[in-house]
Structures are given as structure tokens and as C-alpha cells.
């Protein structure tokens, strides 16, 4: 994974495979601590403690289509290389939360990538899932919730050609938010 947007896509795909109907995606930058906390919380099937303990092993996967599962190990590796950490909480029947912390003043901190593009792809491909997305830098924030989009009549992005407009809306709001970022940050 070359950027955080790709990690977001990978971890959210895990939530979808776990039959989640609600997925919360968060990016929280703390300028004082020079950290970025990336999190995905879902209401999917959850995992037993034994399974959670195996997730960081690249030779473990619950998928039957391949023998390795590299998403979580790569997320752990990239966060630790950037001076951060990875935390996984899960309980059978209660969902899963994955939280990766990155030091934004560390030169090994991954770039953000195309968050807007990947988020729109997730929305298009999974219209039945309630997504909420939040990017926050200290007190400034941008959020997007599919329930709110539906209330505004924006549904089925692939059919009514709204996807480019929603992507532009996300990217413009993120761009405005990034002005508040520390100058020492390696996020881009």
C-alpha cells in the first residue's frame, strides 16, 4: 500500500466482507502531538480474540480465495515505520475497530492519496451500506454521511452521474481543511 487511501479501501473491504451495514471512517490529525489517527469502525460480525491475535500475521487470512492476508500487516508496518502504532478491537457479533496512528512529522509517514476518489468508489460499489467519513484537524473538520446524502436526494451515485460531483465536493472540502495542517507534516 503506497498511501493511506489504499489502506482505507483495504480495511473497509474487510468490514464489508464481515457483513457490516454501518462503517465509520475517521482521520484525526492532532497538530500539537503531530499525529494522524486513521480508524475504521464497523458493526460487522466481529472476531474472537484468537482471530484478532492472528491478524498481524501475513500468512493468516479468513478468505478462501488466497492464502495470505497482507492488509493488516502492511497497515501495522507502515504505522510503526512512521513512529506510530496499530490497535484492533473486536468482539463476535459486535463489530471491529481498527486504529492506526502515524507521526506526521516522521519522513516515513505515508501520503494521504486520493481519499475522495476511493471514498466515492466505496459508496458506488456498496449503496446498501451506511458510511460516515470524518476528517478532522484539531477543531476543524469535514464529514460526509450517506444518510445525509440520501436525505438530499443523492442516491445510487453510479446511476445518476453524481459521483464526479460528490468526489469534487469531498476533495474541495479536504483541500480547505488541509490549510490548517502543520507545516512540518509529511502528509500530502
CATH number of 106's domain:
3.30.565.10
Q: Which residues pair with 144 in a beta bridge?
A: 133
Q: Is 164 inside a domain boundary?
A: yes
Exposed / middle / buried, residue 116 (Cβ in 10 Å: 0-12, 13-18, 19+): buried
* Averaged pLDDT score across all residues of the chain: 89
Please give the Cα distance from 161 to 158 (Å, whole number): 6
Domain hosting 66: range is 4-178
- Is the model's pTM score more than 0.75? yes
Q: Is 186 inside a domain boundary?
A: no
Q: Does residue 80 have a pLDDT over 90?
A: yes
Q: Does residue 68 have a pLDDT over 80?
A: no
Please give the Cα distance from 25 to 135 (Å, whole number): 9
How much is the average pLDDT of 28-55? 90
Please give the Cα distance from 167 to 148 (Å, whole number): 15
Q: Does residue 29 have a pLDDT over 60?
A: yes
Q: Check residue 66 and give its pLDDT.
A: 43
Q: Is 70 inside a domain boundary?
A: yes
Q: Check residue 86 and give its pLDDT.
A: 94
Query: Do residues 20 and 98 touch, judged by C-beta distance below 8 A?
Result: no
Percentage of the residues of the chain whose pLDDT score is greater than 90: 70
Using pLDDT thresholds of 50, 70 and 90, give the confidence band for residue 57. low
Using pLDDT thresholds of 50, 70 and 90, give the confidence band for residue 93. very high
Total tally of structural domains belonging to the chain = 1
Q: Is 184 inside a domain boundary?
A: no
Q: Is 185 inside a domain boundary?
A: no
Q: Does residue 58 have a pLDDT over 60?
A: no
Amino acid at each position: 500500500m503506497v498511501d493511506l487511501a489504499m489502506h482505507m479501501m483495504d480495511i473497509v473491504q474487510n468490514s464489508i466482507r464481515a457483513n457490516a451495514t454501518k462503517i465509520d471512517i475517521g482521520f484525526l490529525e492532532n497538530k500539537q502531538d503531530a499525529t494522524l489517527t486513521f480508524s475504521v469502525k464497523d458493526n460487522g460480525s466481529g472476531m474472537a480474540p484468537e482471530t484478532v491475535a492472528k491478524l498481524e500475521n501475513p500468512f493468516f487470512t479468513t478468505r478462501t480465495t488466497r492464502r495470505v492476508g497482507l492488509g493488516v500487516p502492511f497497515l501495522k508496518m507502515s504505522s510503526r515505520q512512521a513512529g506510530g502504532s496499530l490497535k484492533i478491537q473486536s468482539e463476535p457479533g459486535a463489530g471491529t475497530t481498527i486504529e492506526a496512528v502515524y507521526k506526521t512529522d516522521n519522513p516515513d509517514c505515508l501520503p494521504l492519496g486520493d481519499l475522495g476518489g476511493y471514498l466515492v468508489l466505496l459508496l458506488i460499489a456498496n449503496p446498501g451500506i451506511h458510511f460516515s467519513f470524518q476528517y478532522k484537524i484539531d477543531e476543524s473538520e469535514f464529514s460526509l454521511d450517506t444518510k445525509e446524502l440520501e436525505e438530499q436526494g443523492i442516491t445510487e451515485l453510479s446511476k445518476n452521474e453524481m459521483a464526479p460531483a460528490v468526489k469534487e465536493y469531498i476533495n474541495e472540502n479536504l483541500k480547505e481543511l488541509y490549510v490548517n495542517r502543520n507545516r512540518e507534516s509529511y502528509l500530502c
